[in-house]
Structure 1
Amino acid sequence: MVETAFVDAGRKRASAGSYLRLARPKQWTKNGFVLAGLVFSGEAFMPSSVASAALAFAAFCALSGAVYAFNDVLDVEEDRKHPRKRLRPVASGEVSPRSAVVFAAALAAAGLTACFYVGVGVGISGVAYLLLQALYTGVLKHLAILDVMSISAGFVIRALAGAQAVGSPISPWLLVCTGLLTLFLGFTKRRYELASLGDGAAVHRRNLRDYSVPLLDEMMNIMLAATIIAYSLYTFFVYANGEQIFMMASIPFVVYGVLRYMLLVHRDGGGNPDTLLLRDRPLQITLLLWLVVVMFVLYFL
């Protein structure tokens, strides 16, 4: 009775802010991978391409928001046992499960409509993203290693959608770099969950019983090294001719960025990898400088 009263009282507090929190705008930085195609296609100063890429980015924000909202309904009981996730709108009772499902469906419809408006290729990518998320939610998130690989695949789909949005082929090297980097980020997320939840980790997420902090540290180290090597080879082989050979000047920023990220993950037990970029100024500056170097090489040399 007390819990029911708490939930009913929470529902009365539902507002536009509650629904915005359902879509998790802090996670939208992940959709920045959609913009990679715009930058590396050499069309970042073409208004039509910028508009298409921006709409594709917004569309994937809507699609990812739909996935988050729907997952909050599916995971409501587990979230209520989590020290941080119990404050989410559905778990806390601010938004009813039925309202969250309707909201998720509306976001998914809006996102797919925007994707197909940009182009058929972007639309297909949007559908593939939702199908992957459905498979992840139903099966893959319970399987160690495959859970992180499926998360990484979602980022690769984003990169492909961005290339389709500007009508430009995307380098296989860029897809490899995206996949390796996001595997690294995925393992840091699992490490954070394991370290922060302690003995209750397996209760919240079953597949965490198959991981350990030392194992995840090894996986992170492998992916970090592979990311640096793959990006370095990318700058050598793709931009080996002409003035664009100076693309290798962007390598130090990638090296520092991933090592800085690793430092933050390990510092004081680690922070939430999902929000590190939003609150760490050195990471933000590094990303900006990397983008400046890449843009200068591609557009002015």
Structure 2
Amino acid sequence: MTERTALLERTPAAPAPVVSLTGLVRGLVRTARPRQWVKNVLVVAAPAAAGQLFARNALIQLALVFALFTACASAVYLINDARDAAADRAHPVKRHRPVAAGQVPVPVAYAVGGALALLAPTAAAWFCSPAVAALLTAYIGMQLAYCVSLKHVLVVDLVVVTTGFLMRAMIGGLALGIPLSRWFLITTGFGALFMVSAKRYSEAVQMAGKAGATRALLTEYTTGYLRFVWQLAAGVSVLGYCLWALEGGGVPSTGVLPWRQLSMVAFILAILRYAVFADRGTAGEPENVVLRDRALALIGLVWLAMYGLAVANW
């Protein structure tokens, strides 16, 4: 036995971190990724597109759907972090996550995540509709499959993440019984694929030539392929939106100005502006791009105003 081995054997093991109730609650909230909850605002997309956002009881129902979808997403994050706790402890950044750091015990993360995954669809079936409950159940199943294996499958990982965004956009319409138009589904689906593939492209560009990828699958994609995907998705989303605007969705326009057609300009400008960051490889955090770029934010507000006027038929 060497002197070093003997010293290590005499060194007492580091005590397990003492977890207080307050620290546990904070850790659970952090694991639920509050910054990601903004994605769930997409639940208002379908009612807004149909001009029924402010219909009677619509906002109450949408607030409930937002909370239920947030609970489902939080359940997935909790279960994912519990499952990856051992691997995360060896990661220079992820080791600070509450579960990996010991602030939230693994069994507790599993228990809370499992409870949310069961309660949210049950509450949806009780307070909303069977269709909403079925969509939430499908979302949880798909995301858990993604955490276990699908995130390691080429192309499928892009499809799963994109479908998650599309589900968010669809669920508000299902909750209020609003028919979902083909243009809405095409524009929303490919718009989501545009942002997801641009994010992956940016991550691939930033990790080029560096050891240790945050996503192992990125090493199997080429930047040329990811560029092709986000360019294709951007083109299809613009085409879908323009077809909606030019056809008017079957609703005759009697407004002061052709807001529906004019909104195409703002929509295309927004796509082109976002594509600048995608092309630079700096679209790895979509929420930061949207919130920090003043020009993009202004274009978004102009589009929102025009879109609102078009839907309201003013």
User: Does TM-score exceed 0.5, indicating one fold?
Assistant: yes
Residue of 133, 157, 174 corresponding to 2:184: 174
The residue type paired with residue 212 of structure 2 is G
Identity %, equivalent residues: 31
Residue of 105, 128, 139 corresponding to 1:118: 128
Shift of 1:253: 2.4
SS of corresponding position for 1:46 = coil
1:293 aligns with 2:306: yes
Distance in 1 between the 2:201 and 2:110 partners?
30
The residue type paired with residue 50 of structure 2 is S
Identify the residue that residue 264 of structure 2 maps to in structure 1.
251
1:28-80 Cα offsets, whole Å, 9 max, x none, are 12212211121122212223112112211121111111111111122234434
Distance in 2 between the 1:45 and 1:228 partners?
27
Distance in 1 between the 2:14 and 2:198 partners?
38
Distance verdict in 2 for CA 1:268–1:208, change over 3 Å: closer
Distance in 1 between the 2:53 and 2:260 partners?
17
The residue type paired with residue 80 of structure 2 is N
Identify the residue that residue 17 of structure 2 maps to in structure 1.
9
Identify the residue that residue 150 of structure 1 maps to in structure 2.
160
1:51 aligns with 2:60: yes
* Runs (4+) off by over 6 Å: none
TM-score using structure 1 length: 0.87
Distance in 2 between the 1:192 and 1:74 partners?
27
Residue of 26, 41, 48 corresponding to 1:32: 41
Check whether the contact 1:129–1:154 (CA below 8 A) recurs between aligned residues: yes
Check whether the contact 2:44–2:53 (CA below 8 A) recurs between aligned residues: no
Check whether the contact 1:26–1:275 (CA below 8 A) recurs between aligned residues: no
Distance in 2 between the 1:262 and 1:80 partners?
35
1:134-184 Cα offsets, whole Å, 9 max, x none, are 222233211111110111112222222111111110102111111111111
Distance verdict in 2 for CA 1:188–1:213, change over 3 Å: same
Distance in 2 between the 1:279 and 1:113 partners?
38
1:180-216 Cα offsets, whole Å, 9 max, x none, are 1111122122223334443312xx4332221122321
Check whether the contact 2:40–2:70 (CA below 8 A) recurs between aligned residues: yes
Identify the residue that residue 94 of structure 1 maps to in structure 2.
103
Check whether the contact 1:128–1:157 (CA below 8 A) recurs between aligned residues: no
SS of corresponding position for 2:53 = coil
Identify the residue that residue 4 of structure 2 maps to in structure 1.
none
Distance verdict in 2 for CA 1:132–1:286, change over 3 Å: same
Higher helix share: 1
Distance verdict in 2 for CA 1:207–1:234, change over 3 Å: same
Identify the residue that residue 171 of structure 2 maps to in structure 1.
161
Shift of 1:82: 4.1
What RMSD over aligned residues (CA atoms) do the two structures have, in Å?
2.7
Identify the residue that residue 246 of structure 2 maps to in structure 1.
236
Q: In the comparison of the two structures, how many residue pairs are matched? A: 298
Distance in 2 between the 1:68 and 1:174 partners?
28
1:214 aligns with 2:227: no
Q: Unaligned regions of 5+ residues in structure 2, if any?
A: 1-7
Distance in 1 between the 2:296 and 2:71 partners?
26
1:200 aligns with 2:212: yes
